[in-house]
Amino acid sequence: MHVLLVEDDALVASGIVTGLKLHGLTIDHVNCASLADTALKSSYFDVCILDLGLPDEDGISLLHRWRDQGQQLPILVLTARDALSHRITGLLGGADDYLIKPFDLLELQARLHVLTRRLAGRSKDFVEHGGLVFCASTGEVRLHGHPVSLARRELALLRALLQNPQAILSTEQLCDSVYGYEQSLESNAINVHVYHLRRKLGNNIVETVRGLGYRLGLPEKLDPL
Amino acid sequence: MSLRIRLLLIIGLGLSVLWTVVAGWMFLDARQSLRDALDNRLAASARMVAGMVAQMPEPAYLAADDSRKPFDVIARDGVACEVSLLRSQITAQAIVRTSGGPDLTHAISGFGTHMYGKKRWRTYMLRQGNIQIATADSMDTREALIKELALSAGVPFLVALFGSLIMLWFCITHGIAPLERIRDILAKRKPGDDSPLAPIKAPIELQPLLNTIEQLLERLQAAILRERRFTDNAAHELRTPLTGIKTHIQVAGLAAELPDENKTLKAALDKADHGVLQLQSILDRLLNLARLDDDALHAESSDPREVAYAAREQFQASYPDLENRIFIKEEGAISCVNVARPLLLSATQNLIDNALRYTPYDKPVIVHVKQPDSRRVRISVLDEGPGLNAHDRAQAVNRFWRRDRTIPGSGLGLSIVEAIARRHDGTFKLLDREGPGLEARLEFPV
């Protein structure tokens, strides 16, 4: 899951970034509204954590602006203002969820999963695909009931593919989801992860659409012993 | 008590007392006139009978003996009449009397009131030669007449009085209707409603009241808004470091469970520690402010020049790269001020700190100490930063107000300076400089 964090306080931002990375999420951090605009234009994100107290623009007005521009990205608002009126204004202004500082990192992570799950139209925390079961919050993967150990990047790649089961995802999109935009990476980085996924979950789990990118395929069938 | 009942009681009681007094007065007047008229009738009747008796030839019975009964005549209008023959100066013998009338032979001359046969009579007696003529009215008849008079005037009066009270009720209700409308509108207003008052149809006398209410609501709204902004800012300033601490502690917890994340664990703990320091500094400043508000002042004096140099030294000791950026300018002789040295030092340091935060690195900050007149000492801190507009200058002393949240700070520095100035009868002003930047001017009485 590729998360955009818009937070002006460096201390809070570094905590969230490190914490979510430890949970296997890919996260990019910007500290003001103008950089958030640029980030949204240049990269693909699954969810956004937005702090309302930004230095260059009020978070609520940024939210309004994004929704007016037709931005569909699920947004979790983070704020120190706990008055009921603020929360209502935020939710009516287009926020999908609201968390008041100080919050629990585990709760933040759980809420991010709920937001992306809802966007994918699921009501359960795990995705079933063929014989594959993927638990979104813990990152646990089972193939026909047997646990499969995946590295962090492989997990992020699988998450991105399962999040959009019908869509063809370009290499850039997958790069965004796996690495975020801050890391420079080698051109075949995604290929390596695709190779590992195929090795662990079956050759057809990732379909290559020539010239366009990749699409989710079916996992390996159970061996009829 | 409602205004309506109050008005009704005051006006109603006033009207009732006034009209009752007038009615009583009119009644007494009318009763006296009636009595006078009836007395006049008695006297006129007596004189008429006297005239008739004088023209008549002397009848034979005048010579008759004492034992004869008087001759009865029929009278009209209830007036009794008696004609008597005077035998001597004190004894009289009735010769003609109204049938059923009382014996009036002993009536006093002129008007009088007598009891005859258990009834009270009003009498008039006239003597003409040896003839005595007396006329009388039954007092009961007179009282009945007066009662009738009182009744015929009193009933319409009472009806009119009650009628006017009812009318008064309606008039007052109608008259205070604009007040009721204002009350309704104010009662229906929800707390926190910041819309202006809806236009109310009210007479011009009420307009000042309406204007006052409107101004009061506006002031109240502004105060609520200020309060809300303060709590928002305070929540932000206090919760942000707390969030940082909590998040990093949780990160440390997570990292401790994972292999090869020792570096992350250590970094998280360092950051949490940094957050604790940040929070501690805010809490210290808040406590300082609270002490400034509550503590009694100690009579202490300090030298502003010495304090300015001490402040510069402390900055230069903490930040060696600041060398030569803080200039101190003294002008003329400068007296001591009645401010405890630590407080004056804290105020000066806060001002310099603030100026340094907003001034570009290659520009100086000037501390200007002078005595504009014999009564005050002025410490001005001049910077070449972006300055503040008039609105921000007014806001800047509010607790937790920060113009730019990307620049570290707590938003309490200027509040502390302002509180120190206020506690020592001094003034603190933020002024626009002619060139770029801001002048923070602190003045204390000598």
Over the stretch A181-207, which tens digit does the pLDDT of each residue have? 656 566 678 888 889 889 888 888 889
CA separation for the pair B389, B383 (Å, rounded)? 15
- Predicted confidence (pLDDT) per residue in B284-316, tens digit: 888 888 888 776 667 788 899 999 999 998 888
- Check if A84 contacts B (Cβ < 8 Å): no
Residue B297, pLDDT score: 66
pLDDT band at A138 (very low <50, low <70, confident <90, very high): confident
Which residues make Cβ contacts (< 8 Å) with residue B117, sequence separation at least 6? B102
- List, in sequence order, every residue forming a beta bridge with A148; answer none if it has no partner: A141
Match 């030569």 to its residue by tokens: B324
A133 lies within 8 A of chain B by CB: no
| Other beta carbons less than 10 A from residue B158's beta carbon | 12
- Cβ atoms of B351 and B422 within 8 Å: the answer is no
**A15 → closest Cβ in B251, B261, B405:** B251
Question: Which three-class secondary structure state does DSSP give residue B297?
Answer: coil
CB contact under 8 A, A11 and B240: yes
Q: Do A14 and B274 touch (CB under 8 A)?
A: no
Query: Number of CB pairs < 8 Å for A and B?
Result: 91
Please say whether the beta carbons of A217 and A168 come within 8 A: no
Phi, psi (rounded to 5 degrees) for B234: -65, -45
pLDDT in tens, B266-276: 999 999 999 99
How many whole angstroms separate alpha carbon A182 and alpha carbon B137?
130
Within 40-69 of A, beta carbons closer than 8 Å to B belong to 53-55
Cβ <8 Å between A12 and B254? no
**Cβ contact A134:A163 at 8 Å:** no
- Lowest pLDDT segment from A138-152, A187-201, B185-199: B185-199
The C-alpha atoms of residue B302 and residue B305 are separated, in whole angstroms, by 9
3-state SS, residue B236:
helix
Q: Which residues of B touch A31 (CB under 8 A)?
A: 406
Write the CB contacts of B430 (distance below 8 Å, at least 6 apart in sequence): B388, B393, B396, B397, B414, B438, B439, B440, B441
Contacts of A8 in chain B (CB under 8 A): 405-406
Quote the tokens at residue B85: 């023959």
Residue A76: strand pairing partners = A49, A97
Q: Could you report the per-residue pLDDT of A105-125, keeping only the tens digit for each?
A: 999 999 998 888 887 777 677
In this predicted structure, the answer to whether residue B1 has a pLDDT above a threshold of 80 is no
Query: Is B278 within 8 Å of chain A by CB?
Result: yes
Q: What is the pLDDT of residue A223?
A: 66
Contact status of A19 with chain B (Cβ, < 8 Å): yes
Average pLDDT over residues A199-218: 87
Q: What value does the mean pLDDT take over residues A73-101?
A: 86
Taking CB atoms and an 8 Å limit, are B264 and A18 in contact across chains? Answer: yes
Beta bridge partners of B123: B112, B136
Mutate to test the interface with B, among A12, A30, A85, A107 (most CBs of B within 10 A): A12
Q: Is B161 near chain A, with CB under 8 Å?
A: no
Q: Does A217 touch chain B (CB under 8 A)?
A: no
Overall average pLDDT of the A7-18 stretch: 92
CB contact under 8 Å between A104 and B250, yes or no, is yes
Res. B70 pLDDT band, cuts 50 70 90:
low
Say which residues have a Cβ less than 8 Å from residue B65's Cβ, sequence separation at least 6: none
Nearest to A53 among B251, B275, B405 (CB): B405
A15 to B243: CB separation less than 8 angstroms, yes or no: yes
CB-based contact, A110 to chain B, within 8 Å:
no
- pTM, full prediction: 0.62
Residue of A nearest to B242 (CA): A102
Are residues B94 and B132 in contact, defined by beta-carbon separation less than 8 angstroms?
no
| Adjacent-strand bridge partners of B340 | none
Q: What percent of chain B has pLDDT over 70?
A: 94
CB nearest B251 (choices: A22, A80, A86):
A22
Q: Is the bond into A219 cis (omega within 30 degrees of 0)?
A: no
Three-class SS of residue B402? Answer: coil
Closest CA to B44 of B157, B153, B133, B172: B133
Average pLDDT on A10-29 reads 91
Q: What is the mean pLDDT of the segment spanning B183-212?
A: 82
pLDDT, average across residues B399-421: 83
In this prediction, residue A55 carries a pLDDT of 82
Chain B touched by A82 (CB under 8 Å): yes
